[in-house]
Amino acid sequence: MMTENTNTFDTIVVGAGMAGGWAAKEFSEQGFKTLLLERGPNVEHLKDYPTTNMQPWEFKNRGQLTAKEISDNPVASSCYAFREDAKHFFVKDKEHEYVQKKPFQWIRGYQVGGKSIMWARQVQRWSKYDFEGPTRDGFAVDWPIGYDDLADWYTYVERFVGVSGNKDGLDILPDGDFLKPWETNCVEDYFSQKVKAHYDDRHVIYGRCAHLSESKPIFIEQGRAVCMSRRVCQRGCPLGGYFNVNSTLIPWALKTGNMTLRPNSVVHSIIYDQDKQKAVGVRVVDAITKETTEYFAKVIFVTAATLNTNLILMNSKSKRFPNGLGNDSGVLGKYIAFHNYRGVINAQHEGHANFTTEGAKPTSHYIPRFRNVYRQETDFLRGYAAGFGAQPIREIKSDDIGMFLKNDLLKTKETGLWNVNSHMMGETIPKESNQVTLDTEKVDQWGIPQLNVDVDYDDNDEKMLKDFFDEFTDMYTKAGFINIQTQDNNRTPGNDIHEMGGVRMGKDPKTSILNAWNQMHHCKNVFVTDGACMTSTSTQNPSLTFMAISARAANYAIEQLKKGEI
């Protein structure tokens, strides 16, 4: 074990994903010696994207997984991006086992950059109605912050990340600081117009995405170029055309000279000093050698991704906190929530037969939540958003090989029909019964207890799913679409990759772990700003909110450090 003097920093950030990347950037940029710990290997921008420029024929299995890979990885292979070109960025099922008390697909990316390398890049702000949901319907606890607390931080993050979008003027989905949008196709525009004509409360808009559609000085300084819409983002982009931590936050923090990045560092627990009545450091197990080292700091940010953050805090036991760090309320690990992605609806459009598409864009359309926004109006709580896409149907003959196949492909015909489709993104309600705990017998290869995941759907989710089918069937019918088909794809919780909660924010220390600044009520120098901090989930893709919350909390902690308050 090394001595405290040689391993001491101003702040320690646990987890080098989006939330941790933002915290590390803010601290190091403002002159604080920062240690950024990541349990997986380093992934350097450009250098460590092995498949990024490969052509389809260069992959042994043409981009597909083998039967054995699917058999060995029923959880990881359920993710859309776990394919031959990006499988190396995912945790394989046997690499870090956990206990599923009910079916749960825990999709993980253990490396510097985390899942920011493989994410879907959709970025929508929350509105004031999303933060007010628990207050209105009385389910779970009130948020200690609202939209006004985050509005400027959303802008701060958007300007650094780069977000393509339209100014839509919707109170249910506030506008951001946007780059120009990609061109939409005629059927997407047609559906948007039809919905506007038939409904006052529904909107089909361009899906805001974290892609550079134009250059600005900040992006040039980051070394990023405009997105070419290659749509193989999960491989890592050599242009930096979409946002990931590796091309932006990590290099930015490193160039200050104030950040130390330590990959292959599995955090075992937070060290609490009974005499000082605060956390003083973290205990780390080397992922390769299994050697244990302790690091020390005045402030600790835990941003290891929702479930691992819960695991670390539950494993941080002391005489003062026998049930996990900061857990006087007893809610640590409880009230886990996620997004319900089970609903899918497909149809065909007979119009616009003389139109087709050329090229591609890295996003689709988006339909913000319209149920229970201003008042409770259904027999279920909260609501859902949805995507929308339209693609021409083409006749393609691909049975031949060689030159014959090439000639067949050149004869591809437009049918005049279009496929249209939507998928549901439903808010699930945080419940005490949806929880994670530490296994009392099983440990992982680093000697840390495995995680027990006990999370499931409920009757509210079933009612919401039915409403999605009913309402979108009506919307598709009014638009004149034909062959409408709905499908419950039976996606398992976790497959949405939007799990949140367990270390929730709240106004009352008796029912929450964190205050309005993401600071532990009962351990003031520990902050949690990843998905674990979320009090509820709303319907939006959550990454933008995680980043805004992280930047806000880091700057609050910096102010407190300067004042000597922590």
Please indicate, yes or no, if residue 216 is contained in any of the structural domains: no
Please indicate, yes or no, if residue 226 is contained in any of the structural domains: no
Question: What confidence tens digit (pLDDT) does each residue in 225-242 have?
Answer: 999 999 999 999 999 999
Please report how many Cα atoms fall inside a 13 Å half-sphere around the Cα of residue 382, on the Cβ side. 31
Instruction: Give the pLDDT score at 48.
Output: 98
Domain check: are 384 and 464 in the same one? yes
Domain check: are 15 and 73 in the same one? yes
Please indicate, yes or no, if residue 350 is contained in any of the structural domains: yes
CB 85, CB 51: distance < 8 Å: yes
Going from the C-alpha of 354 to that of each of 57, 350, 395, 414, the distances in angstroms are: 33, 10, 15, 9
Distance CA 545, CA 130 (A): 12
- For every residue of 257-271, which 3-state class applies, written as one string? CCEEEECCEEEEEEE
Distance CA 524, CA 557 (A): 10
CATH code at position 237: 3.50.50.60
Give me the long-range contacts of 377-380 (CB less than 8 A, separation at least 24): 378/463, 378/467, 379/463, 380/460, 380/463, 380/464, 380/467
For residue 505 the two structure tokens come to: 């924010």
In three-state secondary structure terms, 159 is helix
Helices 459-478 + 186-198 axis angle, to 10 = 100
Instruction: Give the pLDDT score at 2.
Output: 41
Going by C-alpha positions, the residue among 539, 467, 457 that lies closest to residue 490 is 457
Domain check: are 350 and 244 in the same one? no
Domain check: are 97 and 152 in the same one? yes
Instruction: State the residue for tokens 């242009």.
Output: 239
**Total number of domains constituting the chain:** 2
Instruction: Give the pLDDT score at 411.
Output: 80
For residue 479 the two structure tokens come to: 């638009």
Non-local (6+) Cβ contacts of 483 within 8 A are: 347, 348
CB 134, CB 504: distance < 8 Å: no
DSSP label at 238? T
For residue 457 the two structure tokens come to: 């759907």
Question: What confidence tens digit (pLDDT) does each residue in 282-340 have?
Answer: 999 999 999 999 999 999 999 999 999 999 999 999 999 999 999 999 999 999 999 99
Please indicate, yes or no, if residue 217 is contained in any of the structural domains: no
CB 240, CB 152: distance < 8 Å: no
Please indicate, yes or no, if residue 221 is contained in any of the structural domains: no
Instruction: Give the pLDDT score at 370.
Output: 98
Domain check: are 193 and 292 in the same one? no
H helices, E strands: number in the chain: 11, 20
Domain check: are 144 and 90 in the same one? yes
Residue after which a domain boundary falls, among 471, 492, 513: 492
Please indicate, yes or no, if residue 257 is contained in any of the structural domains: yes
Helices 543-563 + 18-29 axis angle, to 10 = 30
Domain check: are 366 and 299 in the same one? no
Q: Name the β-bridge partners of 261.
A: 36
CB 418, CB 352: distance < 8 Å: yes
Please indicate, yes or no, if residue 379 is contained in any of the structural domains: yes
Please indicate, yes or no, if residue 219 is contained in any of the structural domains: no
- pLDDT block averages, 10 residues each, the chain of length 566: 70 98 98 98 98 96 96 98 98 98 98 98 98 88 97 98 98 98 97 98 98 98 97 97 98 98 98 97 98 98 98 98 98 98 98 91 97 95 97 86 84 90 98 97 98 98 98 98 98 98 98 98 98 98 98 98 95
Domain check: are 39 and 84 in the same one? yes
Domain check: are 33 and 139 in the same one? yes
Query: By residue range, what is the domain housing residue 422?
Result: 165-207+339-427+457-492
